[in-house]
Every structure is written in structure tokens, then in C-alpha cells.
Amino acid sequence: MIKFFLMVNKQGQTRLSRYYEHVEIHKRTVLEAEVIKNCLSRSKDECSFVEYKDFKLVYRQYAALFIVVGIDQTENEMAVYELIHNFVEVLDKYFSRVVSETLNLLQNIFSLSKL
């Protein structure tokens, strides 16, 4: 099961976050900081799957954008890895280029869907 979905730039700023389980705001900021630190500090030669506390992180880098998905232990890492790629391909087709302005638009769309 997917626990959260993050889009982060190379400076470590969260551009988009979506949680599929309730997490308090304070815990979210701590979690995001630790997750970002873990993923951004890894080299390109290292695996894109990271064990973190009681779940796994699957991430991919596209230019200056990192997409990180937190999953539970039963989820298939390769399927999530492919899901990330398919998500980016859809964004690329729809918006012609995934940039920060696109992420701001997506954040607004996700916040409207919560209403």
C-alpha cells in the first residue's frame, strides 16, 4: 500500500506531497526532512529502493526533481518504480514539460479534490 507521495526539488524543498494515511503536520515535516535527506544524499549508482523505519522508499530523479513514494513492506518496489515513471510520462504529455509551475498547479488540483 502506498503511504505517501512526494515531489522534491534538488534543494530539498517539497513541491508536492500527498499522504494516504493520517499523519500529523509536525510529524509530516520531520518525516519529509528525513526522507529527503536519505534520498538526495544517495549517488546515482545506488539502488532506488531504501529501507526506512517501518516502510520502504522508492524514488526516481528526473533532472532537478525527485519523486519519492513511501510504501509498506508488502508492496512491490518495481511496480511502484514503474508507476513513478508512468506518472511522469503522463505529466510530460499533458503539460509538455514538468516544471515547478506544473507542480504548483498539481498542488492546487490535489487540494481541490480534498473538498
Read off the CATH number of the domain in which 22 is found.
3.30.450.60
Note down the domain range covering 60. 2-112
- pLDDT tens digit string along 63-102? 888 999 999 999 999 999 999 999 888 877 777 665 556 6
Contact of 91 with 77, CB cutoff 8 Å: no
- 3-state DSSP helix/strand/coil % of the chain, to nearest 5: 45, 30, 30
Of 40, 34, 2, give the one whose Cα is nearest residue 21.
2
Q: 115 pLDDT exceeds 50? A: no
Number of domains in the chain: 1
Residue 43's alpha-carbon distances to 40, 69, 94, 113, in angstroms, are: 8, 18, 30, 36
Q: Which pLDDT band, with edges at 50, 70 and 90, does 54 fall under? A: confident
Report pTM.
0.80
Mean pLDDT of 21-37: 91
**pLDDT in the model for residue 70:** 95
Of 50, 58, 46, 42, give the one whose Cα is nearest residue 1.
58
